[in-house]
Amino acid sequence: MAKKYIILDTETTGLEVLQGHRVIEIGAVLMNDRKKSKEHFHTYLNPSRLIDEEASKVHGIMNEDLLNKPAFDEIAEEFLEFVDGSTLVIHNAAFDIGFLNNELKLASSKYPMLQDICEIEDSLAIAKDKFPGQRNSLDALANRFEISNYDRTFHGALLDANILADVYMMLTGGQSKFEFSANSMNLNNQNNDSGNKISKDGLNLKLIKADKQDLKEHEMRLLDIEERNSVRTLWREIH
């Protein structure tokens, strides 16, 4: 059975959970076969405290926006049911997991911690491994992968979860398979003179070009390999 992947993000009243800051928005998107589905979990929350002004400048959520929203304990069971048994993909996972686990503790001592019912995958760690020494914020990655069909005036949990889903697919190799329409290729069970050529018509393929920083990091990596192994790397032979 394919793994259940859920891309998740939160917005909070501030940056430090130990200072009593709370979750005010949760956005989570279910992925099926490495494609975003329409199934999602989204809620705003009343944190029973004020939002830091600097936090509001980032996500655009104001104190008055949350006055009639539910408390976390009112949505906790629905949230746990949605994520149970999944692999949670989160950018800078320690931040969101820390806040969500704190909310679960405050809601009930009977609730599990997220790492007890889910696998946690940190897309920031993946990005740092793939692009060492570069900016790997969600915005930076979206720009690098030319993911631009979103309004980024403010950050929002569901918005960022959708962007992260696109980023995560690019970080981990794109979609697992392409779907071809019946008229995009003409194959039969026997070899024929056409050589089983596949038409590229209708495919939305994205070209990603290395920028100057990417090329610099690549060159540094090649030099490191050559110095440690006293060899000329294969990549220098490819033209």
Residue 166, number of CB atoms within 10 A of its CB? 17
Scanning the chain, the segments in alpha helix (DSSP H) are 53-59, 72-83, 93-107, 114-117, 123-130, 138-144, 157-171, 212-229
CA distance 209 to 172: 17
CA distance 102 to 208: 40
Are the CB atoms for 162 and 29 separated by under 8 Å? Answer: yes
Are the CB atoms for 73 and 108 separated by under 8 Å? Answer: yes
Of all helices (H) and strands (E), which one includes residue 35? strand 35-44
CA distance 76 to 99: 13
Collapsed DSSP state (helix, strand, coil) of residue 184: helix
Catalytic hit among 59, 155, 218, 239: 155
Q: How far are the Cα atoms of 67, 94, 157, 158, 182 from residue 51, in angstroms, in the given order?
A: 12, 21, 16, 19, 53
Asked about 155 being catalytic, the answer comes back as yes
Report CA dihedral (168, 161, 142, 219) to the nearest 10 degrees.
Answer: -40
CA distance 40 to 164: 14
Catalytic sites, residue numbers? 155
